Chain A
């Protein structure tokens, strides 16, 4: 497959200096989607979104239309919570959408509220994003004044308040149930699902839809152009366009809106209009296809389409659309350590295996990176991984409440399985040190896979 000429859907105003203002937004088709929505019944709007088969862009990739259907009938009030906590390493798209086109997001929020019958929405923006907070605050103030938000929107009987809320620095709060805890003023500790599926028991134990910023930003277009035309783009389960942040060792790192499901990793990393290839003509060593939590991919995965099904089948995930490219100069052990340090620092501390385990893993890796590795450390690392995520499998099994703990396992398993020799060397061992591991889901180097033995 190749770079497609699909027209952009959600980045149309990124080029404009004043794309964030109400004037410019209105001048460029703003709030038409809302008008289209208000002309329909809430159910009809919901149908449009189902027809678009819009997958959630926050990481889990669950179809938005289907999720909306999970609110138990007759239970009021319902809430919409916008997840703008973007903090998955490598992920950079929601902030752009909030800074450059806040009204597009607000319009999406309104459409969603109208469809699901939410009488109040909370727009949770990551704490560290001051500009996004300012742009959204301004946009909301203008939209309220202009009658797009609040009581009797555009003279209709549709009324909803959108409350801007900031976080204060905690990655885990991106997890939807932790987000809700945080919004209730608590420590951002996830709730167990079930029973606490937000759609059933969310904010204040009321039905709550949590959607990602990018997911919602697609709604104005879907409503003004129709769900089917959205679904005409893309392939398989992955429809429309999607933002990917390509970072690391590429010539032109950037955030690109590409047609979902058909564009390939090779396009994204090598096409001149996107990544433009590995810097300084270096070789690709590995790349993370979907944020720090995702198992790594390699050369042989380049021609996979950016399609959740295909990527899942190949043993990883598209996650939050973060592609991190590592060239051959990259120290695999150190890269793994750095990602694990992130999870260790961000564990909420609720589950013993995550709280204690990720920290332990980080300290072992740190020791190895500092040159104090012991041959038995690899076995220890993997056994600790196994106690956090039994079987070191993909998708991960977990001894924890949420997937954060197990997420610390994928970089280690990826690096150990693929770059076994680097690890053995770093642990002061010889080539003979066997690497005990199950985790068949991970991709061994084409030549050395046989030496990888099960626990």
Chain B
């Protein structure tokens, strides 16, 4: 497992079809690869390069620019603690250190059982709910050390599995455009002036 599975290849094809140029699908496809394997494997990058028609180096160039793409396996649960200004002011760092002790790893590390990876992250846009953290990009607000401990216990015990999918899965709802509803891609060099603009211009011209 590393190249796209049959099912994911279909999804990949649908994603590709939504863009005027295939390379625009690169980031979505990397997310798909990470959802499939929990991280982005070299084989996946090579497969994506084939699908888009670029070199693996170009795929890696984009992939490695974005923090969310992990090129090594990470824990089932990625725990991101915000320590940026708003959270720092209200104990973000303390929360991070508490979790470091609780999990026995430093920020950036992964627990030996492969359960948790802990990260010290920048602002995750929940500043009024400080201190906050995300588990696989699901939010937890105003987290006290006790709540953090409870959360870790729940995750270990699998009690949160229904609301927090394993690392790699972001949205569990995918966009799907029904064929009969599709307006179609606006492709440079092909697309012309939209009809409603032409029509309006005409009638306005007629009016005035």
Give complex CA distance A204, B130 in Å.
Answer: 39
Considering the complex, give the chain B residue whose CB is closest to the CB of A161: B183
> Do the beta carbons of B86 and A247 come within 8 Å of each other?
yes
- CB atoms of A92 and B171 under 8 A apart: no
Contact assessment for B191 and A247 in the assembled complex, using a CB-CB cutoff below 8 Å: no
Partner of B181, one of A43, A151, A322: A151
**What B residues does A330 contact at CB under 8 A?**
89
Interface size on B, residues (CB 8 A): 71
Find out whether the CB atom of B138 lies under 8 angstroms from the CB atom of A163.
no
Question: Which of B24, B61, B85, B191 contacts A184, CB < 8 Å?
Answer: B24
Identify the closest chain B residue to A91 (Cβ): B125
Chain B residues with CB under 8 A of A161 = 18, 177, 182-185
Is the CB–CB distance between A326 and B89 below 8 Å?
yes
On whether the beta carbons of A120 and B185 are closer than 8 Å, the reply is yes
A338 vs B89: C-alpha distance in the bound complex, in angstroms? 10
For A130, the chain B residues whose CB sits under 8 A away are 136-138, 170-171
A42 to B197, CA, bound (A): 7
22 A-B pairs, CB-CB below 8 angstroms?
Answer: A43-B204, A76-B193, A86-B125, A95-B125, A117-B196, A128-B134, A130-B136, A133-B170, A134-B171, A144-B181, A145-B178, A150-B181, A150-B182, A157-B196, A168-B30, A170-B67, A204-B21, A248-B89, A249-B89, A253-B128, A324-B89, A338-B88
* CA distance in complex: A334, B93 (Å): 12
- Assess whether A165 is in contact with B27, with CB atoms less than 8 Å apart: yes
Fill in one digit per residue for B186-208: 1 if any A CB lies within 8 Å of its CB, else 0: 11100111111101100110000
* Interface SS of chain B: loop
Given contacts A206-B188, A324-B85, contact A141 B173 (CB under 8 A): yes
DSSP class of A's interface residues: helix, strand, loop or mixed? Answer: mixed
- Residues on B lying within 8 angstroms of A by beta carbon are 18-21, 23-28, 30-31, 52, 61-62, 65-69, 80, 83-86, 88-90, 122-130, 134, 136-139, 170-178, 180-188, 191-197, 199-200, 203-204
Across the interface, name the chain A residue whose C-beta is closest to B128: A253
A324 to B92, CA, bound (A): 15
By a beta-carbon cutoff of 8 Å, the part of chain A in contact with chain B is: 41-43, 74, 76-79, 86-92, 94-95, 114, 117-120, 126-131, 133-134, 137-138, 140-141, 144-145, 147, 149-151, 156-161, 163-171, 182-188, 204-206, 245-249, 253-255, 288, 292, 322, 324, 326, 330, 334-335, 338-339, 342, 345-346, 348
Contact B183 A91 (CB under 8 A): no
Least distance between B199 CB and chain A CB atoms (Å): 6
Contacts of A41 in B (CB 8 A): 200, 203-204
Tell me the complex Cα distance, A121–B86, Å: 33
Q: A150-B183, A166-B27 are known contacts. Are A247 and B172 too (CB-CB below 8 A)?
A: no
Kindly provide the distance from the CB of B45 to the nearest chain A CB, expressed in whole angstroms.
13
A120 pairs with B85, CB closer than 8 A = no
Q: A335-B88, A342-B84 given. 10 additional CB < 8 A pairs?
A: A90-B123, A91-B125, A141-B176, A144-B178, A147-B181, A158-B196, A161-B182, A165-B27, A168-B66, A248-B86
- In the bound assembly, the distance between CA atoms of A205 and B177 in angstroms comes to 26
Partner of B85, one of A205, A246, A292: A292
A169 to B204, CA, bound (A): 46
Q: How far is the CA of A160 from the CA of B185 in the complex (A)?
A: 9
Shortest Cβ distance from A41 into B: residue: B200
Give the distance in Å from the alpha carbon of A166 to the alpha carbon of B184 in the complex.
Answer: 20
A168 to B88, CA, bound (A): 24
Alpha-carbon distance A118/B52, docked complex (angstroms)? 25
**B66 contacts which chain A residues (CB < 8 A)?**
127, 167-170, 188
Give the residues in chain A near B196, CB-CB below 8 Å: 42, 114, 117, 156-158
Specify which chain B residues have a CB less than 8 angstroms from the CB of A140 in the assembled complex. Answer: 175
Known contacts A137-B174, A163-B19, A247-B130: A185-B125 contact under CB 8 Å: no
Q: Which of B30, B86, B176, B183 contacts A119 (CB 8 A)?
A: B183
Let me know if A76 and B172 touch, CB within 8 A.
no
A203 to chain B minimum Cβ distance, whole angstroms, is 8
| Contact present for B186 and A91 (CB under 8 Å) | no
A187 and B183 contact, CB distance less than 8 A: no
**For the complex, what is the distance from the CA of A163 to the CA of B24, rounded to whole Å?**
11
Report Cα–Cα, A79/B19, bound state, in Å.
12
CA distance A141 to B187 in the complex (A): 23
Most buried by B among A145, A157, A288: A157
Are A204 and B194 within 8 A (Cβ)?
no
Q: Check A131 against B138 for contact (C-beta < 8 Å).
A: yes
Instruction: Name the 6 nearest CB pairs between A and B, nearest first.
Output: A185-B26, A169-B67, A168-B66, A185-B23, A77-B186, A77-B191
A363–chain B nearest beta-carbon distance, Å? 17
Whether A188 lies near B130 (C-beta < 8 A) is no
